[in-house]
Amino acid sequence: MINIKIKTNNNDEDIENINKIINSITLCVSFLTIIIGTLGGLCNIITFTSKEFRSNSCVTYLFCSTIFDIIYLLLSGTTRFLLDYFPSIRNDQSILFCKFRTYFVIVIPKLSVYFIMAATIDRYLSTSSSKKYRNLSGIKLAWRISMIIITVSLIINSHILFFYELQSQNNNNNIYQCVPYRGFYTIFVSIYVFVLNPLITYIIMLIYILITLIRLRTLRCRLGFVNNSRKKYRIIDRHLIILIFVHVGLGMLLTFFRTGFLAYSFWTNNMKKNIWRITIELFFDKFSLISFYMNFAKSFPVNILTSSLFRRIFYQRIINLFRKICPSRKGMLNK
């Protein structure tokens, strides 16, 4: 949430009122997104750790993605709220807070998306006609790859810790903003980090998931011709592929809306704008940021609405947990 206060004169009270309405709406929606996303993430963890899912390599990646979804919503959402609505915190923030908050706010959502991409590639490998490639879709290898993804992402994005700084936003030097170094690095961050990187990542995911779906439809691979002993795994694989397809599709829509606005802001940054245009851009800035947050809060709603298998396992896990917490009511649940 970027809290931009528009200075108006007495003749522009309507614009000031619009600005207040925008801030109020985005504040409420952002809170709901953080709460729903966090609770949904916990529900995902409960479901993904079930005996039906825990030995599946694809679920391992989805589990890791869920963890980083929760961390991002709590870290980015709460700190953004404090910075926007408590000016004293924004004014007193240190250079270390600036660097590390920016670093984690950029890296953590990337990790979440990278794990979705890993799950997409995993389903591509699991449906291959080659046993060599299918063997790459294994639970032990999945945990190793997960550690590699985390380590590489943390290292590659470490430049943020060195090239971000606090810059004064007014003549009194009492309001500061955490921004990248001016010059080439600003262009690099604006174009690659916030625009090209998400585009490339989602294009890769889209290609892999489409190839996987084509394989299933035309050849049916091993998922269509398995014996009865493998029927359970076939059903799980089919549900996971559908889940990932929906995740990739919604993720593209929500992310591209934000990246599109950032690209527009970068190219029109030096243009002169009237007060109405600034107000409209303020609305789209906040709305696109909320849509970006929603991308990391959508997992559980998508899972529960898309997959009957996920619903059944989640419901059973909740019942089992309730029985452990309240054993005296076990008979009531069995009725």
Does residue 10 form part of some domain? no
Q: Per 3-state DSSP, what percentage of the chain is helix, strand, and coil (rounded to 5)?
A: 80, 5, 15
Q: Residue 277 sits in a domain of what CATH number?
A: 1.20.1070.10
Per the structure, the count of domains in the chain is 1
pLDDT value of position 329: 58
Does residue 11 form part of some domain? no
Residue 166 β-bridge partners: 178
Does residue 13 form part of some domain? no
Domain containing 71: what range?
Answer: 22-334
Does residue 14 form part of some domain? no
Q: Residue 196: is its pLDDT beyond 50?
A: yes
Does residue 15 form part of some domain? no
pLDDT digits 0-9 by tens, 274-297: 888 888 888 888 888 889 999 999
Contact 8, 275 (CB under 8 A): yes
Does residue 327 form part of some domain? yes
Q: Residue 145: is its pLDDT beyond 90?
A: yes
Does residue 297 form part of some domain? yes
pLDDT value of position 224: 46
pLDDT digits 0-9 by tens, 29-43: 888 999 999 999 999
Does residue 313 form part of some domain? yes
Residue 2: both structure tokens together? 């970027």
pLDDT value of position 115: 97
Q: How far is CA 100 from the centre of its chain?
A: 19
Share of residues in the chain with pLDDT > 70 (%): 84
Give the chain's count of helices (H) and strands (E). 15, 2
